[in-house]
């Protein structure tokens, strides 16, 4: 297993397959319809423009086992030290510790880039994701009840946060 930076050319289809599986079979994403391959070019472009990492694990055959990334939390300048992250594991490779490993690398990247807060927005019924975040030191920061509607029911969105020791010298503006 190898940690790699994901690229559009090498990983767009594999990332899309992982995301679309989550859309169709879970409440990990509050989307209704699978995404199209054309959506991946702007997704990767936004990650590159913001200097946001997209990290993944590949096996010896080059199959993407899972990926993690972060991006802006909110668009206003005062949120510049806060990022919202996501981690998704291929369904055939879940519950093997890949999410924890990817998150360790993502946290290290956030510290290196001088972010202060990582935010995870998790469906409150996703016990595995909540356990992963708690294991990594994230704390529950609140829940928006009835925030989404999928599979014929209302969904609660739980926020988990990890405060980082960076930046060394935060500034306005």
Distance CA 72, CA 52 (A): 9
CA distances, 152 to each of 27, 92, 112, 147, 162 (Å): 11, 27, 42, 13, 32
Q: Provide the pLDDT for residue 84.
A: 98
Tens digits of residue pLDDT in 19-58: 999 999 999 999 999 999 999 999 999 999 999 999 999 9
**Mean pLDDT, rounded, for 59-86:** 96
Longest dimension (CA), the chain: 47
- CATH for 2-163 is 3.40.630.30
Question: What digits encode the pLDDT tens for the residues 122-148?
Answer: 999 999 999 999 999 999 999 999 999
Parse the chain into domains and list their residue ranges.
2-163
């Amino acid at each position: 297993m190898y940690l790699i930076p994901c690229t559009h050319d090498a990983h767009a289809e594999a990332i899309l397959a992982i995301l679309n599986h989550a859309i169709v079979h879970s409440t990990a994403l509050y989307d209704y319809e699978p995404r199209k391959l054309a959506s991946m070019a702007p997704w990767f472009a936004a990650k590159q423009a913001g200097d946001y990492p997209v990290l993944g694990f590949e096996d010896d055959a080059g199959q993407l086992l899972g990926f993690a990334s972060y991006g802006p939390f909110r668009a206003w300048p005062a949120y510049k030290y806060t990022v919202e992250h996501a981690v998704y594991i291929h369904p055939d490779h879940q519950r093997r510790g890949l999410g924890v490993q990817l998150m360790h690398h993502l946290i290290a990247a956030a510290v290196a880039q001088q972010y202060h807060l990582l935010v995870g927005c998790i469906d409150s019924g996703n016990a595995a994701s909540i356990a992963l975040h708690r294991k990594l030191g994230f704390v529950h920061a609140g829940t928006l009840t009835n925030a989404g509607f999928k599979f014929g029911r209302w969904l609660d969105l739980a926020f988990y946060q990890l405060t980082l020791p960076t930046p060394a010298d935060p500034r306005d503006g």
